[in-house]
């Protein structure tokens, strides 16, 4: 039976115990802070990032996973006789897939590497990976895993609230949520990842209302489909994320519930205080 390895990038937000359990290789995105360069989640942790951000005179920027890093990961797995399935962040949010494709082109043509656009990010991509990981453990072939990964993109979604749109706007990842720019400070935008892009969903008046409204939007979007898997996402806002995940869990009775924290690169692009809810439903 062929061996299949999964490769993703650090925007997936899968907790380490799950990447270890399923042997998922995570390629780090790049965080650039002044003259310093960090590998996302490798030599800078979320807590270190937010501590530094509070005092920073210069704001960080980000860059996609390097071609050389993908070559390093792919070659290591190929040397162990693995076939590779790489599920990566939406191409509408990052150039990461371009790096992966370039890396593949620089390896031997017979190398078995498939690259999938998750059309998503954070644990929405994470749930896609975990679905494939479970199939691999049950003996699925690489073509079957590719088909499952493509199907899974249609069953996941993300809703999230931000304290400010400044970070998304500065990074050019704001999409249709531009219409929320300039809204009153006490208005909290709720955003949605739709067709791989950040789009406007609604506006509410308080932080607490935004958490409850996100749960309501997820319930509506799921529309009775089962089974359900849920995950929180947060950038330095663990208590809000716990409240929202508990409320959603009570209403939806998921078969899996994951408390996840976004990586420094996501925090740099979305800003501190982001909190949201991810779902996979119907598969």
Kindly report the CA angle at 155 between 26 and 133, in degrees rounded to 5?
35
d(CA 56, CA 6): 36
Whether 13 and 138 map to the same domain: the answer is yes
**pLDDT exceeds 60 at position 182:** no
Q: Please give the structure tokens belonging to residue 246.
A: 């508990």
Q: 48 in a domain, yes or no?
A: no
Whether 24 and 75 map to the same domain: the answer is yes
Whether 126 and 182 map to the same domain: the answer is no
The total number of residues shown for the chain amounts to: 283
**pLDDT exceeds 80 at position 247:** yes
Whether 139 and 21 map to the same domain: the answer is yes
Model's pTM, two decimal places?
0.91
E strand or H helix that includes residue 174: none
- Cβ 256 vs Cβ 229: under 8 Å: yes
| Mean local confidence (pLDDT), 227-231 | 98
Domain boundary among 152, 169, 197: 152
Whether 9 and 79 map to the same domain: the answer is yes
Instruction: Report the domain count for the chain.
Output: 2
Domain that holds residue 194: 156-281
| Mean local confidence (pLDDT), 122-134 | 97
Q: Concatenated DSSP letters for 195-249? A: TTEEEEEEEESSHHHHHHHHHHHHHHHHTT-SSEEEEEEESS-HHHHHHHHHHHH
Whether 9 and 147 map to the same domain: the answer is yes
d(CA 30, CA 63): 5
Q: 91 in a domain, yes or no?
A: yes
- Cβ 208 vs Cβ 199: under 8 Å: no
Whether 115 and 205 map to the same domain: the answer is no
Whether 25 and 132 map to the same domain: the answer is yes
Q: What are the pLDDT digits (tens) for 255-273?
A: 999 999 999 998 888 778 8
Q: 47 in a domain, yes or no?
A: no
Model confidence at 159, pLDDT cuts 50, 70, 90, reads: very high
Model confidence at 53, pLDDT cuts 50, 70, 90, reads: confident
Alpha helices by DSSP H, listed for the chain, are: 16-21, 46-55, 67-79, 96-105, 122-137, 142-152, 166-170, 207-222, 238-252, 264-270
Q: 109 in a domain, yes or no?
A: yes
Whether 92 and 11 map to the same domain: the answer is yes
Domain boundary among 126, 152, 178: 152
- Cβ 70 vs Cβ 100: under 8 Å: yes
Query: Which CATH number covers residue 144?
Result: 3.40.50.10170
Q: 146 in a domain, yes or no?
A: yes
Whether 240 and 264 map to the same domain: the answer is yes
**pLDDT exceeds 60 at position 180:** no
- Greater pLDDT, 278 or 162: 278
Number of CB atoms found within 10 A of residue 148's CB: 19
Domain boundary among 152, 168, 195: 152
d(CA 177, CA 199): 5
Q: 57 in a domain, yes or no?
A: no
């Amino acid at each position: 039976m062929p061996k299949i390895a999964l490769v993703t990038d650090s925007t997936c937000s899968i907790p380490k115990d799950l990447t270890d359990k399923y042997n998922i290789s995570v390629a780090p995105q790049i965080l650039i802070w002044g003259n310093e360069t960090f590998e996302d989640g490798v030599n800078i942790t979320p807590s270190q990032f937010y501590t530094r951000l509070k005092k920073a005179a210069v704001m960080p920027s980000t860059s996609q996973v390097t071609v050389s890093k993908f070559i390093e990961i792919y070659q290591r797995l190929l040397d162990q006789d693995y076939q590779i399935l790489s599920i990566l962040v939406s191409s509408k949010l990052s150039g990461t897939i371009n790096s992966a494709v370039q890396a593949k082109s620089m390896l031997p043509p017979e190398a078995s590497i498939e690259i999938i656009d998750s059309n998503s990010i954070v644990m929405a991509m994470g749930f896609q990976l975990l679905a494939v990981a479970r199939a691999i453990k049950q003996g699925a072939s690489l073509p079957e895993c590719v088909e499952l990964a493509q199907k899974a993109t249609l069953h996941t979604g993300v809703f999230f609230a931000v304290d400010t749109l400044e970070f998304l706007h500065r990074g050019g990842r704001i999409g249709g949520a531009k219409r929320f720019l300039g809204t009153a400070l006490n208005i909290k935008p709720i955003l949605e990842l739709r067709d791989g892009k950040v789009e406007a969903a609604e506006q509410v008046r308080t932080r607490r209302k935004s958490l409850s409204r996100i749960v309501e939007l997820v319930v509506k979007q799921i529309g009775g489909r089962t089974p359900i898997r849920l995950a929180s996402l947060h950038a330095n806002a663990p208590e809000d994320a716990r409240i929202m995940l508990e409320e959603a869990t009570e209403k939806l009775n998921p078969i899996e519930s994951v408390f996840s924290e976004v990586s420094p690169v996501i925090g740099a692009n979305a800003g501190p205080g982001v909190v949201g809810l991810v779902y996979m439903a119907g598969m």
